[in-house]
Amino acid sequence: KQEVTQIPAALSVPEGENLVLNCSFTDSAIYNLQWFRQDPGKGLTSLLLIQSSQREQTSGRLNASLDKSSGRSTLYIAASQPGDSATYLCAVGSARQLTFGSGTQLTVLP
Amino acid sequence: DAGVIQSPRHEVTEMGQEVTLRCKPISGHNSLFWYRQTMMRGLELLIYFNNNVPIDDSGMPEDRFSAKMPNASFSTLKIQPSEPRDSAVYFCASSLGGAGRNYGYTFGSGTRLTVV
């Protein structure tokens, strides 16, 4: 059974700092990995999708990497802003479902 | 496209009542998923449909829960009778793909269910 772990559970940084969120998974037989953002009381917004054959994806200030062999992914956020404050969820895709980590709650202080 | 549409956004019901949650997936997507989110357990898959057929319902907690997908543009999740422990946010997601591959998931805004 796939297990997904996200570290740290919570992170507080000053505005402008570059930061890295970590995700690890136990079964490397994945199809893809997806990073989501969830604001309090809201739904999930897809940020980046990395297929299993890819090593990284970039969108604006966000960069996600994938190392299948080691079961790890990182989400890099450059020049963080208060508007980046949210919970970030890592989800590993198999044939039949996404398995989610418990998320990292990010607070960017002005 | 308007994305994945869920209704209602909020539902408050009394214990023992029937609750029906609704979902309209993105047009052209052939896979549909129902997830439940709670503080204690995070996001859990309840059921997965591919081409309107239920493929995996092992996450459905008990017989009080049922889901249907009568056509490619509509799905329901029903709880009968509802219990306070069913209180959670229920998300519907759709994807283009199926067994063997998918192209990422798009989630609806969720239905916040409170059973009193």
Q: What is the pLDDT of residues A10-41, one digit of tens each?
A: 999 999 999 999 999 999 889 899 999 999 88
CA B111/CA B34 separation, integer angstroms = 11
pLDDT bracket for residue B104 (50, 70, 90):
confident
What distance in Å separates the CA atoms of residue A3 and residue A68, rounded to the nearest whole number?
14
Q: How far away is chain B from the Cα of A33, in angstroms, using its nearest Cα?
A: 8
Query: What pLDDT band is residue B16 in, cutting at 50, 70 and 90?
Result: very high
| pLDDT (mean) for B38-65 | 92
> Between chains, do A31 and B33 touch, taking CB under 8 Å as contact?
no
> CB A95 to CB B106 under 8 A?
no
Which B residues 95-114 touch A at CB under 8 Å? 98-110, 112
Per-residue pLDDT of B62-102, as tens digits, reads: 899 999 999 999 999 999 999 999 999 999 999 887 644 66
Mean predicted lDDT score pLDDT of chain B? 92
Residue of A nearest to B109 (CA): A43
Distance between CA A85 and CA A107 in Å, rounded? 5
Q: Say whether A95 and B56 touch across the interface (CB within 8 A).
A: no
Radius of gyration of chain A (CA): 13
pLDDT of residue B102: 66
